[in-house]
Amino acid sequence: MVSVVDERTIGPVTRSRLTLEIDPGDGSPFEVTTRVAFPTAAARSRVKVGGTIPVRFDKDDRTRIVVDLPPD
């Protein structure tokens, strides 16, 4: 995780902009920025700069990613 910027909080939901460094395992890491809506403050607190989170991405279009948030 390169950066986390909280953009908006409405009730328990926090929308954040994440910049991630993704290592696809082939020796060519890349950065991508995405927005994630965390359903609870506890879910948001588990995501920190320098940490790792699981993601899935389209190998043909690396700008398309899905962040796999752990369950609360």
Sheet strand arrangement including 3-10: 3-10, 13-22, 30-38
Q: Are 32 and 47 in contact (CB under 8 A)?
A: no
Residue 59: which residues within 8 A CB-CB, separation 6 or more? Answer: 24
Strand partners, 16: 6, 36
Q: Is the pLDDT of residue 4 over 90?
A: yes
pLDDT digits (tens, 9 = 90+) for 7-57: 999 999 999 999 999 988 888 899 999 999 999 999 999 999 999 989 999
Predicted TM-score (pTM) of this structure = 0.85
